[in-house]
Structures are given as C-alpha cells and as structure tokens.
A and B are shown apart, each in its own frame.
Chain A
C-alpha cells in the first residue's frame, strides 16, 4: 500500500525522473533485443543459405559387392528423403577429339551417367554453357582441352574395351565438382580429392551400354539425395539433425553403402559462421547495451540529492531502512518494466524496419526467451540505478553528510592500485596473442559435433574498454588537478577577472567532470569502433564479391572463344563504363597438375579491378605487379605450388599450355617471382598469374578469357544488362551487386545492413544523449551554484564562462579521448575477429562522414545543453534558492 502511494506520488510530482530512467532502460533493452533479433535471424539465414547452396544433399555410394538397386530402395524409403536418383561413374583412360585436322587427346577422366530429370531435381549440379541441356554433355575444361563444341565427336578410351565415339550435344560447367567427385566415406579431415580434369556426362542407359558389366570394369553406383529442408534454424542444430540422420541411414544399409554428407559439411561450416555472428553480438552489441545502462545510472544519479532529501523526510516520519529500500525497489521495478516494455516495442519496430520482421526470434520460444532476458536486463539496470544507491544512502544519517562530494581528495583505490594500467596491459597481451599465427577465435573441426570458441579473446576488448575508461578518468582528474594555472590562462579571454574562479571550479569539480568526460569518451569510442568495424566489414564484403566477380561487371567468354583484346572497345562504348580490362584465362599443366593461368596487363589491370596487398605474399600488390611487368617471363604462383615444387625466387618453370595455332600443348618457360594467394575471378585453390603479352606471344593467341568492366561502382546491374545485349548468348555476364548477394556461405554473405543501421543509429543517439545529458544533468545538479552566482550579480557573460568552460572540457576531453580509444578498439576488434573477414583487411576503413556527423551531433547537443543552462541561470535565481 505504501509502495502504491509512493509510486502514485512520484508519477504525479516527479514524472520526469521516472521517464528519464525508463528511457535509458528502453535504450539498453531496445539495443539488446534488436541485436538479439539480428543474431537469431542471421543464424536462420545462414542455415537457409547453406542449405540452398548445396546441389546434392547426400551422395550414398553402394559398396563393392552390394546391390545398387537395394541401396536405392533403402534410401528412397528413408524418412525425410524427398528425391533419390541413381548416378553411375565410370573411369576412362582418356578422351580424344579431332577438329580442323588436328587431334587432341586428354589424360584420364570420368564418364558420368545421369538419369532423366537429374538436372531438374538437382539444378545446382550442372550449368549449361552452350548447346543442349541433355544427352552427351562435355565439361567446360575438357571441351577446351579437346577443342570440342556441340556436334563434335569425342572418342572415349575405355579400359579393357575398344574406344567408343559419342557426339557432343552440349557444354556444361560443374560448379560443385569437388563434392560431386568426392571420395565417399573418406575420414573427416582427410585431404580433399581433386576432381578429375576431364568429365563427360551421358544418360544412365548410355553409360550402361558404354561400360557393360561384361567388360569386367565395374561402375561405381551412387544415389543422389535431396532431403526435406525443414531443419532447425540454428546451423549447429541443423548440422546435428542432418548428420544424425546420415549415420542412421548408414546403419540401415548395414554396410552396403557409405554416405557423402554434403549438406552436413556445409552446415558444419555455417555453424562456425553462426558462432562468429554470436561473437559479433558479444563484441559489438554488449558494450553498447552496457553504455546505455551506464547512462541510465547517470540519469538516475542526477536525482540522487532529491532522493536523499526525500529519504531523510521519510526517516524523520519513522520509516525504517528496510522500508526505504523497499520503496526504491518498487520504483526500480516500475521503471524497469516500463522501460523494458518500451525497449522491446522499439526493438520490434526497428526489427520491422531493419530486418523485415518484428519478431525477436525465429521461433516463438526463442523470441520469448530473448524478450524475457532483455526485460530481466532492464530490471537489473533499474535496480542498479535506483535501489542500490538508495540502500547506500539510507545509511547516511544526514543529508549534509551525504553531500560531501567536492572534498573527496583521496584518490580512488583503483588509481592507487593501477587497475587501469593493468587492464590496458592485459588487453595488449591478448592483442598480441590473437595476432600470433594459428590463432582462431572459432574452431569448428570438420565433422566434429563440438565447436570451441576462444572466449578468452573477449578479454582483449573488455579490458581495453575498462582500462581506457579508467585511464580517461585518471587523465582528466590529473589534468584538472595539476593544470589549474593553464586553465586560468585559457579562461581569461572569456572569463576576465573570473578566470581564477573558473579554474578553481573546474579543479574542485574534477571528479564530476571526469565522470562526464569518461561517459562521453566511451560513447564516442563505441560509435567510432562500431562504425570503423562495420565499414571495414562492408568493404571486405565488397572485396570478397569483387574477388569472385573480378570487377563491377565481368564478361566471361565461353570456352574455346578466340575473342581478342580489341573487343574491349565494344564494352567501353556502353554508357556507365569507365574502363575495360581484358584478362586472359588459360589452363596450364604444372607437372601433371592442371591449373588456371591468368594473363594480365600489369600496367592497367588495376584500372578495372582491385588488387589488395593481402592477395599476395613476398611484396605488396603494387610492387609485385611492377616486378611482373618488368620481367616478361615472370609468373606468380600459389603457395601450395611453391611448397609442392620447392620453388625459390628466380627458379624457372616449364609449363605446358595449349598453342593457339596448333591446338597442341606447348612448353613455355616462366620465372617464379612471387606468391599469389587470391586473384580476381581466380579459383580458391592453385592458379597462376603471368604477363598477357608473353603468354600471347608464346601460344600464338591473344584470346581473352574475361573482360573486366569498371563502372565506378554505379549501377553494375544496369551495365550488365547492356553488356548482355552487346554480346548476345554465349558469354556469361555477371555483375557485382548480384555476386555480393550470392557469394559463398561464409559470414560475409550475411547482410549486415540492418544491424549496421541499428548499431550506428544507436551509437549516434547514445553519443548525443551522453554529450547533452552529461552536461544538462551536471548543470541541473549545480543549478543552485549558478543561481547563487546570478543572485550575487553575475552577468550573462560571467555565467556563460562558468558553463562553457565545463562544456569545453567535457566535449574536447570526451571526444578526444574517445577518438583515441575508438581507434584502439577498432584495431583490436578487427584483429580479434579477423576470422569474420574474408579476405583479411589490409587496413581499417574509416567512415569519416558518419564520424563527423557523430562529432557534430555531440557538440550540438552540448551547445544546446550549455545554452539552456546559461538561460536557466539567468532566469529567476530566487526560485532556485528557495528550493533550499
């Protein structure tokens, strides 16, 4: 009853006090809930994308001696199997084709037998490049090797039989050749088996005819499976479900089959990414929520004197400590629940705007758990802001005793113990450890259900937050304590004879000012680190997409095309195209290993694409391109090739390339210059980079593999449409914006736009609130001081000098220290979360426009607060003095 009366009275008499604290709690709860919703949705997106990216979920291979039909029957009947089709594999000794009087022969290959409807059932497995979509289909690389096209005859060299000839109906690409030709049943973690260089696809019946059982060369039989994709939203749970089912199926076949679990392997990777998303939440979201909580405590503390007086009055009327704490708890509960509810409603609204849904989770249970967790957090903040101080104050016997805030001359225990310096030292140690080779934040061993996370890495940023905040306090305290003469000199032009008074005020109120500066510095650091991290992440996401696509728009010529670099003029004429760069794409034998070779024009290649230093080893991108340009026979190779062939700089390599004039392989000498780890349009495994002119001269062909079109980042999709109209069917035209959406299943595929908007908007609001509130509340606390000065006759300028000096210390100190802390935090976050980036960034991206907006908004908030304080101090000092 007393509690109800108390709350009713507060709502009537002190509504702003309740609203202020509730607003702070709403901010903290809203951020937590918004980021939680993002996390939950990201995980569901990862699972969805992982599942969507798998062409064949399971490849069930009948073991030697087992009956393929029985295996097919078992698989078809297995719960959750939507489609199951038999696929046959036969080994060929080689393929041969004759064109324009010249005969080409390849090494060993595989003939694949697919049933009718396979392409419809598993659309991601085959991609038609030219010709028919069914019948006899030749893989792109094999077609290039054989100079074959639709209509060409290809001879299949069959072990133990005479060669057989088939007519090619179409040319295809096998985007998921790695998994299609995997060694089914290989132990987890075993080295991947490289797909065959040469592949021919025929209908199942044709395969059976070409490789009859009577020939004594058994076919390998697989059942390709599509599963019901209604899986748990969390990649880790989906992984467990899928791998559990896979084991169950293997048991049911009683050893007759082994299972290649492509879906499980993809989910295996996605669950690691999901953990990274979780770490992003911890690293980026939690500090913001804690800062909002700190701000709330600050807002609540502004009314502490008034609370003390109210407590003193209640005590004189016989209230016990227990009752006083009880009343404060009721107040905390009311503002905690109200603020929490507003925060959740805000999160739902933000979720609808930023993520397209108001739900806080992918399921009702998850959403309810998030909501409950966030509400509890809000109640905790309210408790810390109201009830705990009330409990401490209830022990102070007099108001006067509790008001001793200026003369606390003894340094806090943590400055004497050097906690700030120890925390920064600890943070530096973690930074060093995470920079060492072999560090991985998330370790998800392939095929192993358990995932390990280096949660200790959280200690790095956490200690940096702590250390930087405390150090900022120490610096401001020390500066204001020792810098009084300097402050006096600085204040004199504005304050005149009051300069000494201004300096004394700043010095004696240094603890209050230090708290304000720390709050502003931390919010500025949060805004800066979040913005820099997000900008770097976004930039690297773009780099990833550009790496895959090559440029804003890429026109890839079909295999066997003889289009030369002069065709670039056709694309240069398209509106919106700034530059066009031809890029050769050949295949070269390094020993027996067939690798992609890219011929570049070193002087102009960067005009249409970006080369980052992280793509290379042994020099910067610029330096290595310059060296390559200076040495015509120079070549950049993969680290794997360097290791396999024990190459030293300057070593000669004899590579076999197809001669454009004869169609036969010819040996070309190159000199090893350096290592290329990544290259635009290049595959992720081994590849080579050489001079285009040298390759053209040695092979007699300047045929271009792809044209890279630079649009300056503007409307790549529109330019791609025009390019398609120019080239017609045949060449594949891809654009950056489409690739960005489709790229891989890694974390960079998760669209952070919504989260970025939420976080950056929140950081801006927090910075404004900190700058404005820290000053406004500080002035409100000391409005009696200004009223007394006004009553003594202080003029507008004199009052302004007192106010503006504090505002200047807070804004300059807060933003300055915040910038330093934000820069350190950004470096720390990018280093600790380096696994999130693909490829790793070579430098931080600083969003100057956003950071300037934060600084301007913060300064504007401080100016408004200071101007309001001056105005208030000039108005009716007597009414303030009367409040006692």
Chain B
C-alpha cells in the first residue's frame, strides 16, 4: 500500500496508483479525507459480517459532520476508516490534504474514542502530552501544550491525577483535551458523549466545537443523540452499513 491510500487487497483498476486519484484530476480544494465505494467486512465465509458497504463520502476543511444511525449501522467503522485505524476490504480511503496514512497519527488526525482510552499508568498531563511526544515534540513543549489543552477544557487542576481517580465526565474531557493538544486538522469523535450525562456531554461538545473553530479543523462526530447532531452543520445517516443520506460527494468528482 502506498502512503496515501488505504485500499482493499484487490485494487480498483480504474484508479491511479497515487492517492486513488485519476491521473490529471485537479486536487479537490480542502479535501481532507475521501472514501470511494468503501466496504468493510469482518470475518469470512458464513461468519462474515458486513459493517460497511459501498460507502463514498469526503470530509473537507471546516466541515461539521454528525454521523448518525442505529447501533451496528457502521458509524464507528466509518470513523475508524477515516482515521486510518482500519483498512477497507473493498474501495479506497485517501487523505489528499493530510499526507500518507502512516503520518496521520500522531499528526493531522486526532480521535476521541468511545471507550475509556486514557493510559492507566500515566497521569492526566502525561496522557494529554503523549500524542505530542509520540510525534517527536520535546518534553518541555509537549508539557506546555498539554497544559493549554487542559485549560481549554477547564481541567487545569487535574494534571497530576491518575485516570482511575477521575469521574467518567472528567476522563472523557481529558480524552478530548488529548485530541486537541496536537491541534489536528481532522478531529474524529466516536460517541464522545455516550457515557456522559447531558451536562457533561454538552461541555464536551462545546469544547470540540470551540477547538475545531479555533484551529480550523474539520469535525466528525458519531452519535445517537439528536441534540448533539443538531449542533453540527451536516448530518450523515447510516443504516445497515450504507450511507443513506447526507454525504457530500462533490469532492469525489
């Protein structure tokens, strides 16, 4: 696989070798991530489970997208494909404006996971600084930026706490702070409020929107919560692994 494309094992002969673009195509302006006829199947044979099929979409700079749909509709799978955490079994995923897949994380893409994702042996400040350190930022700068991110989320006093000493809401806000600390261009949040009460959920969404606005980042959030979805400009609706409405396909043209 080249550095810019995540594709199925059977390459689509209609697409070029670099970035899944046709030769001579102009680079779509501000196109951060693109999925073209993407499918993702888990398992094989009789036990195969299709999570996504024939999904095409793209995310551009400044987008505010809510990916909604019932449980098992493929929201998280799509998010993971956009984040480069997973590879499609068919179709291609590319990041035209972000570089090769191997450079997405740590770097221009940040992910807020649904499940608790703080490292237990590291305190809050160390957790937030971790993506920066992984990116090669020296410890002093990483610490400084981590402090700023924590302050943005109103978590200044929690820097020396361990994850097991935090409440669920605090932990999720720390995860958001960690995602913001690296100032990503594409911010992907998988059910960030799923385990929080309404007040804490609102705080997290506020922080995500504010950070995206401040850094000019695109924001994609998967959610069941209509109130969260309503706060975002665009809405993708998935059902049974298909993107049934809302996807902007102009960038694929």
Contacts and interface: CB of A to CB of B under 8 A. Distances in A.
A514 to B, nearest CB: 14
11 contacts: A404-B164, A497-B134, A500-B126, A501-B122, A501-B130, A505-B122, A508-B122, A788-B117, A789-B119, A789-B130, A792-B130
Interface in A738-795: 782, 785, 788-789, 791-795
Interface in A500-557: 500-501, 504-505, 508-509
Contacts of B123: 504
Closest 8 CB pairs of A and B: A793-B105, A793-B106, A508-B121, A505-B121, A497-B133, A788-B117, A509-B121, A792-B131
Interface string A86-128: 0000000000000000000000000000000000000000000
B37 interface: no
A881 B164 CA distance: 17
B122 A793 contact: no
Nearest to B111: A791
Interface stretch (B136-144, B215-223, B224-232, B239-247): B136-144
Interface string B114-135: 0111111111001000110111
Nearest to A401: B164
B86 interface: yes
A492 to B, nearest CB: 10
A795 B131 CA distance: 11
B165 A792 contact: no
A798 interface: yes
B126 A407 contact: no
Interface in A13-53: none
A795 B107 CA distance: 13
B15 to A, nearest CB: 25
B50 interface: no
A567 interface: no
Nearest to B42: A879
A791 B131 contact: no
A878 interface: yes
A407 B164 contact: yes
A232 B186 CA distance: 85
Contact of B113 (A403, A407, A505, A881): A881
Contacts of B139: 497, 500
Nearest to A880: B115
Give the most central of B104, B120, B137, B138: most A CB within 10 Å: B120
B117 A881 contact: yes
A794 B131 CA distance: 8
Given A504-B126, A878-B85, A884-B115, A792 B134 contact: yes
Nearest to A791: B85
A798 B139 CA distance: 15
Interface residues of A, number: 31
A485 to B, nearest CB: 13
Interface string B151-174: 000000000001011000000000
Interface in A843-884: 876-878, 881-882, 884
A498 interface: yes
B136 A496 contact: yes
B133 A406 contact: no
Contacts of A882: 115
B36 interface: no
B134 A498 contact: yes
A406 B134 contact: no
Given A496-B136, A793-B104, A407 B130 contact: no
Contact of B121 (A400, A406, A876, A877): A406
Give the most central of B113, B116, B121, B137: most A CB within 10 Å: B121
A505 B122 CA distance: 6
Interface residues of B, number: 33
Contact of A791 (B117, B121, B126): B117
B31 to A, nearest CB: 22
Given A793-B105, A881-B117, 18 more contacts: A404-B164, A405-B164, A406-B120, A407-B162, A407-B164, A496-B136, A497-B133, A497-B134, A497-B139, A501-B122, A501-B126, A785-B119, A788-B118, A789-B130, A791-B85, A791-B105, A792-B106, A877-B85
A114 to B, nearest CB: 86
Nearest to A508: B121
A798 B85 contact: no
Given A404-B164, A500-B139, A878-B80, A788 B134 contact: no
B134 A504 contact: no
A785 B163 CA distance: 12
A476 B120 CA distance: 20
A494 to B, nearest CB: 14
A684 B138 CA distance: 77
Interface of A: 400, 403-407, 496-498, 500-501, 504-505, 508-509, 782, 785, 788-789, 791-795, 798, 876-878, 881-882, 884
B119 A788 contact: yes
A406 B162 CA distance: 8
Contact of A878 (B86, B106, B116): B86
A696 to B, nearest CB: 80
Contacts of B107: 793
Contacts of B106: 792-793
A82 to B, nearest CB: 76
Interface in B90-117: 104-107, 111, 113, 115-117
A497 B126 CA distance: 12
A794 B119 CA distance: 13
Nearest to B162: A407
Contacts of B162: 406-407, 508
Contacts of B86: 876, 878
B121 A785 contact: yes
Nearest to A789: B119
A405 B165 CA distance: 11
A504 B163 CA distance: 14
A785 B123 CA distance: 13
A500 B134 CA distance: 12
Contacts of A504: 121-123, 126
Contacts of B119: 505, 785, 788-789
B23 to A, nearest CB: 31
Nearest to A795: B134
Contacts of A505: 119, 121-122
A785 B127 CA distance: 11
A504 B80 CA distance: 29
Nearest to A512: B121
Contact of B105 (A497, A509, A792, A884): A792
A782 B135 CA distance: 22
B136 to A, nearest CB: 6
B113 A791 contact: yes
Contacts of B120: 405-406, 782, 785
A430 to B, nearest CB: 40
Give the most central of A782, A793, A881: most B CB within 10 Å: A793
Contacts of B131: 792-793
B133 A403 contact: no
B46 to A, nearest CB: 18
A400 B168 CA distance: 10
Contacts of B165: 407
A497 B116 CA distance: 25
Nearest to B179: A792
A570 to B, nearest CB: 77
A779 to B, nearest CB: 13
A621 to B, nearest CB: 58
A498 B126 CA distance: 10
Nearest to A400: B164
Nearest to B138: A497
Contacts of A785: 119-121
Contacts of A406: 120-121, 162, 164
A594 B202 CA distance: 108
B128 to A, nearest CB: 11
B161 to A, nearest CB: 9
A117 to B, nearest CB: 85
Contacts of B85: 791, 877-878
